[in-house]
């Protein structure tokens, strides 16, 4: 008589051995990577063990082969989406996060108006960087959670959908990201690249444009580390059969004139109406052209779609399809406070990170993953670097529902801007620093 099968067969690897290998700067084998990602998702590898491995990866890095295998292993913990029934080529954009980065809001409908389909799975803000879903949820009635069938329906009807990723899309990443956030390992480039690309590849889009932010308000503070991240992600996407390019873009100063949820929606609607800040329009058009080229869609110019109202038409349909009212008034803060220019002169710098922290402290961001945000909180800019200012004129307006938050926001803004004598010429980096792919 044969023995019954073991209901709990032994694991093929030991977590401590995998940790030691990376600690000692060895390359992990394909088998080790496949196992540790799957075992962590199943709960066999404990949080403290994966924390140790993540720190070893942060300190010692990974080869391109290891990163590609790690990314694939995370994808295989969940499902891959399929948009073959949409009827037009699919293309998407991902930003590594910044202050005032509302580009997805005007970008998705603009690209859809030009003939491509945009299935955009977005996230929420954490810390000083804003989240697309938080911004859109300031629109009355709009909902972020859609089933796969609902997402497909919105995409077919409007050409663009922006929603939350389901729990079955790269679930290993959701668990690992939460761990990295509390263990000081968010900055590990191999883990950043695999986190972003596992979700984007699983999302099933045919083409992808990456907006890799560089500067004080970004996770990547210098061009060299941003370029390393961009090259790694482009290689991952290309290797997975997704046409992928990346732009390195400036995040030394906030994008546009607002940082906050409803404030950024308002500004995005201005862009879709043919106006809005020049830098937001410029980056929207540049990224849209890259997305359309990667998707193989020719003929339509995104700049025209913003001017002729066709992008706005898609926006209104897209918001309505997800329960939102595009005509509803956006929330307004109960309290405001204006920061005045201290002297006549030229605004030569405005630090994106400090502005982002101020918006966060006013209630626009969260310190914990499930913490609510204030829809109306944030910072409004009345001048950008290079502009002439006069003493006593508004420089920034702070918005919040809770006046007790002003003090800590003022602390964050200490040293955030410099007003130099008249005639000064600030050294402003270009909005688009480089293109990779």
pLDDT digits (tens, 9 = 90+) for 125-168: 766 777 899 999 999 999 999 998 999 999 999 999 999 988 88
pLDDT reported for residue 204:
93
Count other Cβ atoms within 10 Å, centred on residue 82: 10
User: Is-catalytic flag, 94?
Assistant: yes
Instruction: Tell me, yes or no, whether 307 and 410 share the same domain.
Output: no
Residue 432 in any domain: the answer is no
- Output the six-digit token pair for 65: 């082969």
Instruction: Tell me, yes or no, whether 102 and 150 share the same domain.
Output: yes
Residue 226 in any domain: the answer is yes
Catalytic residue among 195, 216, 310, 349: 195
Range 234-257 average pLDDT: 97
Asked if residue 117 has pLDDT above 80, the reply is: yes
pLDDT reported for residue 6:
54
Q: Count of domains in the chain?
A: 3
Distance between CA 32 and CA 50 in Å, rounded?
A: 13
Question: Are the C-beta atoms of 385 and 347 separated by less than 8 Å?
Answer: yes
233-238-57 Cα angle (round to 5): 35
- Output the six-digit token pair for 221: 């503070």
Give the CATH number for residue 28: 1.20.970.10
Asked if residue 3 has pLDDT above 60, the reply is: no
Instruction: Tell me, yes or no, whether 353 and 316 share the same domain.
Output: no
pLDDT reported for residue 96:
92
pLDDT reported for residue 211:
98
Higher-pLDDT residue of 130 and 215 is 215
Instruction: Tell me, yes or no, whether 174 and 278 share the same domain.
Output: yes
pLDDT reported for residue 1:
44
Residue 344 in any domain: the answer is yes
Catalytic residue among 128, 135, 199, 316: 199
Distance between CA 104 and CA 267 in Å, rounded?
A: 12
C-alpha closest to that of 374 among 332, 343, 336: 332
pLDDT in tens, 176-210: 988 887 888 888 999 999 999 999 999 999 999 99
Residue 86 in any domain: the answer is no
Asked if residue 7 has pLDDT above 70, the reply is: no
pLDDT reported for residue 427:
87
Give the CATH number for residue 402: 3.90.1170.30
Please name every residue paired with 120 in a beta bridge, in sequence order, or none if there are none.
162
Domain boundary (321, 353, 376) is at 321
Instruction: Tell me, yes or no, whether 354 and 266 share the same domain.
Output: no
pLDDT in tens, 328-368: 999 999 999 999 999 999 999 999 999 999 999 999 988 77
pLDDT in tens, 64-77: 999 999 999 999 99
Catalytic residue among 34, 101, 173, 211: 173
Count other Cβ atoms within 10 Å, centred on residue 15: 21
Domain boundary (265, 286, 321) is at 321
Give the CATH number for residue 230: 3.40.1030.10
User: Is-catalytic flag, 382?
Assistant: no
- In angstroms, the first-to-last Cα distance of the chain is 61
Instruction: Tell me, yes or no, whether 104 and 241 share the same domain.
Output: yes
Instruction: Tell me, yes or no, whether 187 and 233 share the same domain.
Output: yes
Distance between CA 121 and CA 197 in Å, rounded?
A: 12
| Mean pLDDT rounded to a whole number for the chain | 94
Which pTM was predicted? 0.92
Asked if residue 323 has pLDDT above 90, the reply is: yes
Asked if residue 435 has pLDDT above 80, the reply is: yes
Instruction: Tell me, yes or no, whether 311 and 202 share the same domain.
Output: yes
Asked if residue 241 has pLDDT above 80, the reply is: yes
Asked if residue 18 has pLDDT above 70, the reply is: yes
User: Is-catalytic flag, 195?
Assistant: yes
Quick one: how far is CA 347 from the chain centroid?
Answer: 28
Instruction: Tell me, yes or no, whether 311 and 199 share the same domain.
Output: yes
Instruction: Tell me, yes or no, whether 134 and 37 share the same domain.
Output: no
Range 403-424 average pLDDT: 96
Residue 78 in any domain: the answer is no
Residue 3 in any domain: the answer is no
pLDDT in tens, 293-312: 999 999 899 999 999 999 99
Domain limits for position 45: 15-61
Asked if residue 269 has pLDDT above 90, the reply is: yes
Domain boundary (269, 297, 321) is at 321
Residue 76 in any domain: the answer is no
Distance between CA 267 and CA 275 in Å, rounded?
A: 9
Residue 2 in any domain: the answer is no
Catalytic residue among 22, 69, 93, 94: 94
pLDDT reported for residue 372:
86
Instruction: Tell me, yes or no, whether 314 and 347 share the same domain.
Output: no
Instruction: Tell me, yes or no, whether 305 and 203 share the same domain.
Output: yes
Asked if residue 5 has pLDDT above 60, the reply is: no
């Amino acid at each position: 008589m044969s023995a019954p099968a073991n209901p709990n067969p032994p694991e093929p690897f030991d977590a401590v051995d995998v940790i030691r290998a990376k600690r000692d700067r060895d390359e992990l084998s394909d088998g080790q990577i496949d196992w540790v990602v799957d075992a962590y998702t199943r709960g066999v590898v404990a949080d403290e063990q994966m924390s140790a491995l993540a720190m070893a990866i942060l300190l010692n890095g990974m080869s391109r082969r290891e990163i590609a295998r790690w990314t694939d292993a995370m994808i295989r913990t969940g499902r891959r989406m399929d948009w073959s029934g949409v009827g037009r080529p699919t293309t998407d954009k991902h930003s590594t996060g910044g202050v005032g980065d509302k580009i997805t809001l005007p970008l998705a409908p603009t690209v859809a108006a030009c003939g491509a389909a945009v299935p955009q799975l977005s996230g929420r803000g954490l810390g000083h960087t804003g989240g697309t879903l938080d911004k859109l949820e300031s629109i009355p009635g709009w909902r972020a959670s859609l089933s796969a069938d609902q997402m497909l329906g919105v995409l077919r009807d409007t050409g663009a959908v922006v929603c939350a990723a389901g729990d079955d899309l790269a679930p290993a990443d959701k668990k690992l990201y939460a761990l990295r956030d509390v263990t000081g390992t968010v900055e590990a480039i191999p883990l950043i690249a695999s986190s972003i690309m596992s979700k984007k590849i699983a999302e099933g889009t045919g083409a992808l444009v990456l907006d890799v932010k560089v500067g004080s308000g970004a996770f990547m503070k210098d061009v060299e580390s941003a370029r390393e991240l961009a090259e790694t992600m482009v290689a991952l996407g290309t290797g997975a059969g997704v046409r992928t390019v990346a732009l390195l873009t400036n995040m030394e100063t906030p994008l546009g004139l607002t940082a906050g949820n409803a404030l950024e929606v308002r500004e995005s609607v201005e862009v879709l109406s043919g106006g809005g800040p020049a830098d937001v329009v410029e980056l929207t058009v540049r990224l849209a052209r890259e997305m359309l080229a990667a998707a193989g869609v020719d003929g339509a110019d995104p700049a025209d779609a913003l001017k002729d109202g066709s992008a706005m038409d898609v926006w209104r349909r897209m918001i309505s399809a997800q329960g939102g009212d595009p005509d509803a008034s956006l929330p307004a803060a109960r309290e405001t406070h204006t920061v005045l220019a201290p002297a006549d002169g030229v605004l030569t710098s405005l630090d994106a990170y400090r502005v982002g922290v101020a918006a966060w402290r006013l209630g626009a961001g969260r310190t914990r993953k499930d913490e609510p945000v204030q829809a109306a909180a944030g910072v409004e800019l009345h001048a950008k670097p290079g502009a002439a200012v006069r003493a006593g004129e508004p420089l920034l307006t702070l918005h919040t529902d809770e006046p007790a938050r002003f003090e800590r926001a003022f602390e964050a803004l200490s040293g955030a801007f410099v007003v130099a004598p008249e005639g000064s010429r600030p050294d402003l980096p270009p909005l688009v620093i480089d293109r990779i792919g």
